[in-house]
Chains A and B, each alone.
Chain A
Amino acid sequence: MNRIHVVSPGLLTTVQDLGRFGWAHFGVSASGAADALALRAGNLLVGNAENAAALEMTLLGGAFEFEADAVIALTGSDFGAGLPLWSAVEVRAGETVRCGPTRSGARGYLAVRGGLAVERAMGSASVHVATGVGGRPLQKGDVLPIGEEAVRKPRVGQAAPPLGKRAGALRVTPSAQADWFGDELYRGAYLVTEESDRMGLRLRGAAIPSPAGHMLTEGVPLGAIQAPPDGQPIILFVEHQTTGGYPKPACVISADFWRLGQLRPRDEVRFERVAMERAMELLREQEKWLYGLV
């Protein structure tokens, strides 16, 4: 069996797939790739099922040595590996893929043909960093077995990166307490703070007035924008809690989730309302692009 040796792990590199679904009623968060679109694309390019386990790198990538010949794809942000992005690439036995600091967004993905054959917890290989469910971030010297789960031929030639830009307003639809809020959320820009992580993107900017009214703790969806008492919004991200008691004016649309995964500290964020129909249309366009890679 072919294996990957972690020569250096980078800042925060974890094994991710599309997440641990079906456990929210036990209070277990889904986790999964922060930029799921890049992970799915990487898997499709190397000929895997889109949910195969791959590596997610954050801000500073690692160095990974391959025991035997392999086919990989680097997707998401450019971590300066000197290999074409959004393309299946052959790696020779003994070769080391060296990634550096990001040259664009927060996350880069390394998918390998056959998928990473790591142990699954509750049906998923995804590491939930905050609780350790599914494992822990990579360390120097870790060895990752490569599986044999490829389902089709790798794509030959470079593909186009995803539609739309990393920058620009995040599109949202109204969430559970939208009626409690005015349009403060849509007036100005917010900065992504250093305290942001896979649980939540903590923003700083003009405070959203905390609405009057009592709410019971309720289930919270991925991408929901919470307004805690200090009025500084938090976007619930892939490791988010399953329930919460803060009101939510809006929720980021599914087609923009990948952009959340590419936000870095100090990036600027704005919000723009779209109709539900538009959100669905944007998602359909994105899916069409994705399956165009196969």
Chain B
Amino acid sequence: MTLRPVSDRSLLVSFGDEISPEAHREVVRLTHALQGVRGILSLHPAFASVLVDFDPRVRDHAEIAAQVRERLDAPAASGAVERRTVEIPVRFGGDDGPDLDDVARHSGLAPERVIERFCAARFEVCFVGFATCFPYLGGLPPELATPRLAAPRKWVPEGSVAIAGRQAGVYPLASPGGWRLIGRTSLRLFDRNGEPPPLLRMDDRAIFVPEGRR
């Protein structure tokens, strides 16, 4: 674990440079443990790090670093935490998933097999970030990994289900984006009146099902 000031009001806590289950567990644990600590404004968890934003008028880097160490040294809470599983109905291919054929070609599988394997996978939400409630999903079958588009699209529709390398995700709102679009869901990933607003939250599990076959 390393601690590094990355601005005059934030500290980056890193658990290595790789995506791993161990790093993910530490990210989840630290994010929960630092909720509500006085002087901390925001927490930005990611694959293997947590950015801690604090109010520099009441806290400094050393005080925040001490808080982080203290919480990581505390024994992890015992007992299994119940994890939610969210089922996401998807319309695959066609206009809803214009890159499905590219993913199929890249994997050497027929598009139907790509859909089968995608829907057989058990995803987990590594973290939620980017622009408004975007879930970064781990657990993509390795044979479906496909690089990002060379040039990002100017407009990706809301609800697009997408692949980028070994990651999967769902666009909560229409935005520009370079991920490969394989389908679309009508579920609302971002509900501005929701408490909390994202449908998919860090550490949830997610499964995808072809729409109409639930």
A276 touches B133 (CB 8 A): no
Question: B47, B51, B128, B196: which contacts A221 (Cβ < 8 A)?
Answer: B51
B128 touches A26 (CB 8 A): yes
A131-B132 contact, Cβ under 8 Å, with A173-B8, A221-B6, A280-B56: yes
Chain A residue contacts of B50, Cβ below 8 A:
219
> Size band of the B side of the interface?
35 or more
> Size band of the A side of the interface?
35 or more
Chain A residue contacts of B156, Cβ below 8 A:
none
Question: Contact flags (1/0) for B26-41 with A, using CB distance below 8 Å?
Answer: 0000010000000001
Question: A29, A122, A173, A244: which contacts B5 (Cβ < 8 A)?
Answer: A173
B31 touches A25 (CB 8 A): yes
B197: interface (CB < 8 Å): yes
Chain B residue contacts of A131, Cβ below 8 A:
131-132, 173, 190, 192
CA distance A152 to B48 in the complex (A): 46
Tell me the dominant secondary structure on chain A's binding face.
loop
CA distance A241 to B56 in the complex (A): 21
A216 touches B41 (CB 8 A): no
Within 8 A of A (CB), among B91-142: 127-134, 136
Q: Measuring CB to CB, which residues of chain A are less than 8 angstroms from any residue of chain B?
A: 21-30, 121-122, 130-133, 173-176, 215-224, 241-244, 248, 251-254, 276, 279-280, 283, 287
Instruction: Given A131-B192, A219-B46, A242-B42, output 12 extra A-B contacts at Cβ < 8 Å.
Output: A21-B42, A25-B128, A175-B6, A215-B17, A216-B47, A218-B44, A218-B49, A219-B45, A241-B129, A276-B5, A279-B8, A283-B57
Q: Measuring CB to CB, which residues of chain B are less than 8 angstroms from any residue of chain A?
A: 4-10, 12, 14, 17-19, 31, 41-51, 53, 56-57, 60-61, 127-134, 136, 172-173, 190, 192-193, 196-198, 201-202
